[in-house]
Homo-oligomer: A and B are copies of this chain.
Amino acid sequence: MKCRKCAEKAIINMRQHKLALCKTHYPAWVVEQTERFIQKYRMFTHQDRVLVAVSGGKDSLSLWDILWQLGYSADGLYIGLGIDGGIDYSVESQRLAEAFAASRGLKLDVVSIPQEYGETIPAIAERTTRGRGKPCAVCGLSKRHVMNRVAYEGGYTVLVTGHNLDDEAATLFGNTMNWAGGFLLRQGPVLEAHHTGLVRKAKPLFRFYEREMAAYALVRGIDYIYEECPYAEGAKSIYYKELLNKLENDHPGAKLSFFLSFLQAKENGLFASNAGMQEVLTEDGVLLHTCPFCGQPTSAPGPCSFCRMVLVKDRG
């Protein structure tokens, strides 16, 4: 198969776009498309100070690489989780994130959960009831907390993550399977900061398939951690991804149209404007409380979920 733009051999064929591209035109196309999405969904501008949440995986490093090429002011944040899993997972992913930043002269902030809070993610998970034995819920909560804190304290105006279409479609699929109203309403390429203390979030890669991001990282020679997190095994999100891959395989473009038609329906007013938001916002759209420990907004009086988890060590 030949590249649509030149006579070179194509390295990728995107069936849903009916587009095949070579090793030169493909990464250029990804960069252009990302810029188009950033503008189309009003994610941020060149005046913004962007913080990229970097895990050491293909998506977040590729995102940082793209923003760097596009000339955005984008620093990185790596959060050390203290996960080993027999493969030195956290050590290795930190090394790769640092090597990437060094190679491009980019600024990477590193926050270590074990150093800062005295415990690794798996240790916190073992101590608390959250997540029933799996550290994923604890990890998600911790990352959201630290990301927002660092972004807010650092004066960043937007926090970006490397979620790709497969991630977003699987999350949407899960939220649809049990019609989780609040999550359905909040899911999208941009999440506005509804309250002082929160930083707006954006997902510039949300329209790229996972395999497209893998191809991008490969052709750009980005050295990333290939292994999935050792705790991801058996996760529902992976199950949903496989299901959606079957759907995509039988109906090319199904994943993209599932997600884009969701965004369209939302824009057309399918959902009641305040459905499912009761637990987070008052009627005026204002968050209810401030955590006395970390100062971040929280939905209930007293310490936020994260502070309760890391501070109250005798908890179940």
Residues in A lying within 8 Å of B, measured CB to CB:
176-179, 181, 184, 239, 243, 246-247, 250, 254, 257-258, 261-262, 264-265, 268-273, 275-276
> Residues of B contacting A178 with CB < 8 Å?
257-258, 261
**A177 to B169 alpha-carbon distance, docked (Å):** 10
Residue in B258, B264, B272 whose beta carbon sits within 8 Å of that of A177 in the complex: B258
Interface of chain A, main secondary structure? helix
Residue of B nearest to A179 (CB): B265
Q: Which of A179, A184, A275 has the most CB of B within 10 A?
A: A179
Q: Can you list 25 contacts pairing A with B, beta carbon distance less than 8 Å? A: A176-B176, A177-B247, A177-B254, A177-B258, A178-B257, A178-B258, A178-B261, A179-B262, A179-B264, A179-B265, A179-B270, A181-B265, A181-B268, A184-B270, A243-B247, A268-B276, A269-B272, A270-B271, A270-B272, A270-B276, A271-B271, A271-B272, A271-B275, A272-B272, A272-B273
**A262 to B177 alpha-carbon distance, docked (Å):** 8
> Residues of B contacting A273 with CB < 8 Å?
272
> Residues of B contacting A258 with CB < 8 Å?
177-179
Q: Which of A177, A239, A261 has the most CB of B within 10 A?
A: A177
**A268 to B177 alpha-carbon distance, docked (Å):** 16
Residue of B nearest to A258 (CB): B177
A275 near B269 (CB under 8 angstroms)? yes
> Residues of B contacting A179 with CB < 8 Å?
258, 261-262, 264-265, 270
Please give the count of copies of this chain that the complex contains.
Answer: 2
Q: What's the minimum C-beta distance from A27 to chain B, rounded to whole angstroms? A: 31
- 15 other A-B residue contacts (CB within 8 Å) besides A179-B258, A184-B270, A269-B272: A177-B247, A177-B257, A178-B257, A178-B258, A178-B261, A179-B261, A179-B264, A179-B270, A181-B270, A243-B243, A243-B247, A270-B271, A270-B272, A271-B272, A272-B272
Q: Which of A184, A250, A270, A276 has the most CB of B within 10 A?
A: A270
Residue of B nearest to A173 (CB): B176
Q: What's the minimum C-beta distance from A286 to chain B, rounded to whole angstroms? A: 20
> Residues of B contacting A271 with CB < 8 Å?
270-272, 275
Residue of B nearest to A250 (CB): B239
Q: What's the minimum C-beta distance from A243 to chain B, rounded to whole angstroms? A: 7
Q: What's the minimum C-beta distance from A166 to chain B, rounded to whole angstroms? A: 16
> Residues of B contacting A276 with CB < 8 Å?
268, 270
Q: What's the minimum C-beta distance from A170 to chain B, rounded to whole angstroms? A: 13
**A262 to B176 alpha-carbon distance, docked (Å):** 8
Residue of B nearest to A276 (CB): B270
Residue of B nearest to A178 (CB): B261
Residue of B nearest to A182 (CB): B270
**A62 to B184 alpha-carbon distance, docked (Å):** 37
Q: What's the minimum C-beta distance from A266 to chain B, rounded to whole angstroms? A: 8
Q: What's the minimum C-beta distance from A202 to chain B, rounded to whole angstroms? A: 22
> Residues of B contacting A257 with CB < 8 Å?
177-178
> Residues of B contacting A247 with CB < 8 Å?
177, 243
> Residues of B contacting A262 with CB < 8 Å?
179
